[in-house]
Amino acid sequence: MTKYGSFPGTRPRRLRTTPVMRRMVAETRLHPADFILPAFVREGIAEPVPITSMPGVVQHTRDSLKKAAVEAAEAGISGIMLFGVPEDSKKDAVGTPGTDPDGILQVAIRDVRAEVGDDLLVMSDLCLDEVTDHGHCGVLDAQGRVDNDATLERYAEMAQVQADAGAHVVGPSGMMDGQIGVIREALDQIGREDVAILAYTAKYSSAFYGPFREAVASSLMGDRKTYQQDPANWRESLRELALDLEEGADMVMVKPAGPYLDILARVADAVDVPVVAYQISGEYAMIEAAAEKGWVDRDRAILETLTGIKRAGARTVLTYWATEVARQLR
């Protein structure tokens, strides 16, 4: 006698029989609009410079960055997050290139806005690590510690020059206490209430940032454990989340993505603002390296990790595969 509600009457495999069936019942779908492309632009180079630890990713020239932005817009992704790499001789203790209207990041923002207008959200990394000679995300005090409140003053200036250059969204990534409120006030002071803030709300002190440090030619000595979050903790992510929202964050981020899917899910369940996840350089490099060895199917691994990130609750994903995957999906 056939039983309904249990085997053999109930057979979940019926909904997996064909590609069309699996597509129809899929609970999570990827779309080009789900993605943001992180991109690096380096001052003083004539040709794009490959990043050895991130196969397929380069430090762009101004011209090659504009081309990448056009390709990203044509692929249908939502945004491009810009990181500027100044010449080493211009870095100093307070990160002067970060507030120079002619600093490489501000120049790149203007370039990309002129090239793509509003067809692509132009987002800017708001942090000092790329522009300081010590490589930390803030200015240092006399004892060599990151001075939170002095750093906030620099962030306020950076927000204003990035907005003036044309950024649609600023992304403060330094994990300083109070940074969102200070940046919101600074933007509003110059009449830029229209510029959104993507808060790096839960940014963990991760082992997976290594390739990124090559990408931005980091000068860092030591670590960032006094301001980035401890990988052992999840409750403080929710505390950071509440503070960022209170201070005026428009969107919130979890970074890295893959090792912190539990944090991503908790954050997504707790808020009604868009949640973003950053699939970082080490996550990218591991798949590319394993694929080069023939140990994983590259394309399947990319799509599987991105689907997992979105399934966990991300509305949008920063990924170095953004343009490539968007083209495949289209």
What residues act catalytically? 203, 255
**Euclidean distance between the first and the last CA atom of the chain, given in angstroms as a whole number:** 47
Q: What is the DSSP letter of 146?
A: B
Other C-beta atoms lying within 10 Å of the C-beta of residue 9: 10
Phi, psi values for residue 167, rounded to 5°: -65, 135
Our separate counts of H helices and E strands in the chain read 11, 10
Tokens of 321: 């595969």
- Give the span between the Cα atoms of 115 and 154, in whole angstroms: 28
Using a CB cutoff of 8 Å and minimum separation of 24, what contacts does 231-235 make?
231/204, 231/205, 231/206, 231/259, 234/262, 234/263, 234/266
Output the CA–CA distances (angstroms, integers) from residue 326 to 63, 250, 307, 323, 329, in the order listed: 22, 25, 13, 5, 5
